[in-house]
Structure 1
Amino acid sequence: MKRILIAIAVLAAGCTAADSPSAPAADTRDGQIRYETTMCFGTCPVLDVMARMDGTVTFSGFRPRVSEGDAQVTETYQVDPAVLKQLVSDLEEGGFSALLDNYNGADVCPQLATDGPSKIVTVQAGSIDKRVNYYTHCWGFEDEAKVKAMLAEVERVLMIDEKTAAYLPTDR
């Protein structure tokens, strides 16, 4: 019994040593930015784009197409890390962390229609650890211009339109 207690004490001490102040903590300031879109009832692309702060971007996407069959791709490309850091800084200054988590539903959207995709941005970099889900057929809410401007900037920096057109062309 004494050996079991000693073993438990040694294991417990080993577990807490990693949590001690002398252990190096992971630097969450390096972080990542994730951009996603959801499916609609048509040919909207479904995207999952992950940008690491070192500039590596992984673009995964799917687009249903009528005549040519569905398009699907996963591609990796580079974005200037300084541009990503500036994006995080702009989002911090613009109040990204203060946005609602969800812009969807009658309680948030004075005007709401069906059959639209959502755009979801998750930022875990700098001082931000936040996920914002914006349903694209939600209109007339207080922060609408701010949300759309921040999404547009993320899309610009990650080259969403350019990569979607190149990798997932529509057949219409």
Structure 2
Amino acid sequence: MPSSSGTTAAPATGLPPQLRIETVQTNREVEALVRSLKPFDSQFAVDDSLTWARRACGNRPYGATQPAWVKQDFNQDGKLDLLVFGRWHRPVTLGLINAGQAPPQITFLTRTSTARCSETRLVMLGRQPVLLHREQQPDTTGERSQNSWLPPDTLVYRFGAFVNYNPAPRDYRITRLHYETTGCFGTCPAYQLALDVTSRKADFTGLRFTRREGQAQATLPPKTINDITQLLNYANFPALRDSYDVPWTDDQTATLTITYANGSVKRIRDYGLQGTPELSRVYKMLEEIRVSEGW
């Protein structure tokens, strides 16, 4: 089951008018819309009156006074998007970004599959919709405790994902990026990818479970490089922790190393690839390079 920090590609076919964000009006219609999208099925249900959220969170979710779904233009493109509280094997919070005639893009806001409780509240910062989101993890005894809350997120939709709001991003003048993934208990692709920002050269080394093993090179479009470096700047990469870990075993590890024009280097090791919503989005953008190049 995908984590919240990733996005899920929907089928390439269009949606019937009654299953579009603009037209759904009831819990059952929202349910039908979500069930029509991959990877969902008939097991998905809208959390009527936030019953599951209250039960999981001990009657204290951020959204206790808001409905089970909310329409809002999260990416400021003039089309209504959808925030949905539901249950799909566990309580989940979803963001559906309107793609017009095509199926919406799905984002799992609930970041980890082990979350005991997920709380999300919609607020407005001027004209900018903001989601206040936090999650509670089970401690070593499997019980809730005040110490098990993950750091809260203040999310806006930018760079194709919900990321933490930064009112004043800086240009850190990134010159080089090196990304390395390990294997996992499965077929996770293990590879290295180095990007030179000035030349836009990408150097790839496939290690295991990649389309191409060994070395390959490519020159990337300017937009690809700009999108990645702008997101890293927006994420305030130098201020992030040096290491992140999910509370389970047999997952993949990513190591991202950034070199700056002043010679400084920042490296982050992320076991589970869910350190922050911004990091998860960067990893997905780098993985999209590998896939698009046939590596």
TM range (shorter): 0.5 to 0.7
How high is the sequence identity, in percent, across the aligned residues?
A: 23
Q: Distance in 1 between matches of 2:226 and 2:181?
A: 23
Preserved CA contact (<8 Å) 1:34 1:122: yes
TM (norm. structure 1) is 0.58
Q: Secondary structure at the match of 1:84?
A: helix
Q: Distance in 2 between matches of 1:58 and 1:81?
A: 16
Counterpart of 1:46?
190
- Alignment CA distance shift 1:146-1:89 (3 Å): closer
Match of 2:203 among 26, 47, 58: 58
Counterpart of 1:145?
277
Output the amino acid matched with 2:266.
K
Query: Which digits, 9 at most, give the CA deviation of each residue in 1:10-51, with x for residues without a partner?
Result: xxxxxxxxxxxxxxxxxxx57211111012233222111111
Q: Distance in 1 between matches of 2:213 and 2:175?
A: 27
Preserved CA contact (<8 Å) 2:200 2:221: yes
Query: In the TM superposition, what is the alpha-carbon distance from 1:126 to its structure 2 partner?
Result: 4.9
Counterpart of 2:239?
98
Query: In the TM superposition, what is the alpha-carbon distance from 1:81 to its structure 2 partner?
Result: 4.3
The runs of 5 or more residues in structure 1 that have no matched partner are 1-28, 168-172
Higher CA-based Rg: 1
Match of 1:77 among 200, 211, 218: 218
Matched, 1:132 2:264: no
The structure richer in strand per residue is: 2
The structure richer in helix per residue is: 1
Q: Distance in 1 between matches of 2:260 and 2:221?
A: 16
Preserved CA contact (<8 Å) 1:49 1:60: yes
The runs of 5 or more residues in structure 2 that have no matched partner are 1-172
Query: In the TM superposition, what is the alpha-carbon distance from 1:101 to its structure 2 partner?
Result: 0.8
Preserved CA contact (<8 Å) 1:89 1:126: no
Preserved CA contact (<8 Å) 1:33 1:125: no
Preserved CA contact (<8 Å) 1:61 1:74: yes
TM (norm. structure 2) is 0.36
**Count of residue pairs brought into register by the alignment:** 122
